[in-house]
Amino acid sequence: MSIYTGPVFAMAREQFQTVADYLDIPPSERDRLLYPKRAITVSVPVHTDDGREIVYQGYRVQHHLTLGPTKGGTRYSPKLDVGEVAALAIWMSWKCALTGLPYGGAKGGVNCDPYKLSRRELEAVSRRYMQEMIPFVGPHTDVMAPDMGTNEQVMAWFMDTYSMYQGQTVTEIVTGKPVSAGGTEGRREATGRGVAHLVGRAMERLQMKPAGSTAIVQGFGNVGSVSAATLAEMGVKILGVSDHTACYHDPKGLDVASLVRHQAQHGVLAGWSTEAVADPDTLLTLPCDVLVPAAVEQVITGANAGQVKCRILAEGANGPTTPEADRILNQRRGEVFVIPDILCNAGGVVVSYFEWVQDLQQFFWDESEGLKRLRHVLDGAFTRVMARVDRDSVPNRDAALAIGVQKVRDAKQVRGLFP
Ligand code: NAD
């Protein structure tokens, strides 16, 4: 019996088995590549504003230490479980290896609903979670970052809590911090900018032009809002957006700057307009050139993969496409070009790596330096993935995963059993 259960973990396992078959990895080697090195579960007790005590579950999964410390985001979500966290840690491993970062994957989180917590409660959860994690993390062991439900402020609380226990400021313990607390310029925007940059690369390959193209974006948090805004800057018309509170669609195009302002002010899209309201269940199957799922897992499924009408599916979220949907999309490879999650949203961890490097050296770059290097890293990864697709005629996802898995496998083979 494994503790790693649930549909998201099953997805990560199935993707891995597909790629392990393609790479001809013997069955005896597979478990060591797939299963995480460690899973930590902690209780996170906090006082609520109305004087009650409530205990959340906190998790951190560290997939492997073969290439360096582990690295990965922290998710606050009421449905979070250890299987989902493990899947996200595993995807982080393949993503870091694909982009050439010296990290194994990790992920963590707390099963709370951040939209229902007051700021004081959010701070209490964040500080207590980090306090419980102190024995298991460190700048050369495991470095946290934001993910769904967490942000720069949460990272500042993590960094401050860790630093208080060390008796000195340790900015390099987390990335995605505010610039005023050792963060790097452009980290907040990095994932969305990376998504848009790779859409541009895919368009070049498909001989499309951003100007005059259209896009639909699901999820309007960090990744979705910046993806939409950057695509709009490139000349792409944004036809539809949604978050967990609202969904808007207008064939003439939406005012993205106004949506971003509303989201920044209210935290959600609800209340932006009474016009252009659309059905979130059909948003993903409306016609557009670029579809960006940037919210949760498993939204492109066996039920709707046959109906998506985009030319480019840019996976801003982790795990938005189920293996069943992949089988359908693989049949439609001439119609739908998939930029797989471990490539498409890698901009975030790439700039997190830059932030960590700068914190370790106490030598800071300006935003243009980070952006230039980000594009260089993503271009390299995109080129490697396309070369493999062209050589072996495999789907884009399998090519990307294969490069990541092979790199970790090579390192494990020369190192031995420890990491
Ligand atoms: P976030 O918390 O900032 O935003 C999440 C967004 O998704 C919110 O707008 C929320 O309302 C929306 N949402 C939630 N459930 C939804 C639903 N059922 N339908 C439509 N919208 C829904 O999170 P984020 O950091 O933007 O992360 C989004 C995705 O991108 C996640 O899969 C995350 O793992 C992935 N990701 C994030 C980063 C990063 O740097 N933040 C990096 C790589 C990948």
Whose alpha carbon is nearest atom 42 of ligand 1? Answer: 348
Q: Is the CB of 247 under 6 A from ligand 1?
A: no
Task: Find the mean pLDDT for residues 395-405.
Answer: 98
Task: Kindly name the residue from 71, 95, 107, 177 that is annotated as catalytic.
Answer: 107
CB distance 296 to 147 below 8 Å: no
Q: Mind listing the pLDDT tens digit for each residue in 196-211?
A: 999 999 999 999 999 9
Instruction: Tell me whether the CATH fold assigned to 36-171 matches the one assigned to 189-344.
Output: yes
C-alpha torsion sign, points 220, 226, 231, 233: positive
* Distance between CA atoms of residues 190 and 1, nearest Å: 39
The fold of 189-344 is Rossmann fold (3.40.50)
pLDDT of residue 256: 98
Q: Mind listing the pLDDT tens digit for each residue in 243-262?
A: 999 999 999 999 999 999 99
pLDDT of residue 408: 98
Q: Which tokens go with 377?
A: 């890293």
Query: Where exactly are the structural domains of the chain?
Result: 36-171, 189-344
**387 alpha carbon – ligand 1 mean position (Å):** 30
Q: Mind listing the pLDDT tens digit for each residue in 98-117?
A: 999 999 999 999 999 999 99
Asked if residue 419 has pLDDT above 90, the reply is no
The fold of 36-171 is Rossmann fold (3.40.50)
> In this structure, which amino acid lies at residue 284?
L
Q: Is the CB of 289 under 6 A from ligand 1?
A: no
Asked if residue 291 has pLDDT above 90, the reply is yes
Task: Find the mean pLDDT for residues 129-141.
Answer: 98
CB distance 224 to 348 below 8 Å: no
Task: Find the mean pLDDT for residues 393-405.
Answer: 98
pLDDT of residue 158: 98
pLDDT of residue 295: 97
pLDDT of residue 418: 84
DSSP letter assigned to residue 300: B
Longest dimension (CA), the chain: 62
Q: Mind listing the pLDDT tens digit for each residue in 161-192?
A: 999 999 999 999 999 999 999 999 999 999 99
pLDDT of residue 330: 97
Residue 211: CB atoms within 10 Å: 9
Asked if residue 1 has pLDDT above 80, the reply is no
Asked if residue 414 has pLDDT above 90, the reply is yes
**24 alpha carbon – ligand 1 mean position (Å):** 34
Q: Is the CB of 155 under 6 A from ligand 1?
A: no
pLDDT of residue 417: 87
Q: Mind listing the pLDDT tens digit for each residue in 65-77?
A: 999 999 999 999 9
pLDDT class for 95, splitting at 50, 70, 90?
very high
Q: Which tokens go with 176?
A: 């995605």
Q: Mind listing the pLDDT tens digit for each residue in 8-20?
A: 999 999 999 999 9
* Distance between CA atoms of residues 214 and 258, nearest Å: 18
Asked if residue 366 has pLDDT above 90, the reply is yes
User: 3-class secondary structure for 210-255?
Assistant: CCCCEEEEECCCHHHHHHHHHHHHCCCEEEEEECCCCEEECCCCCC
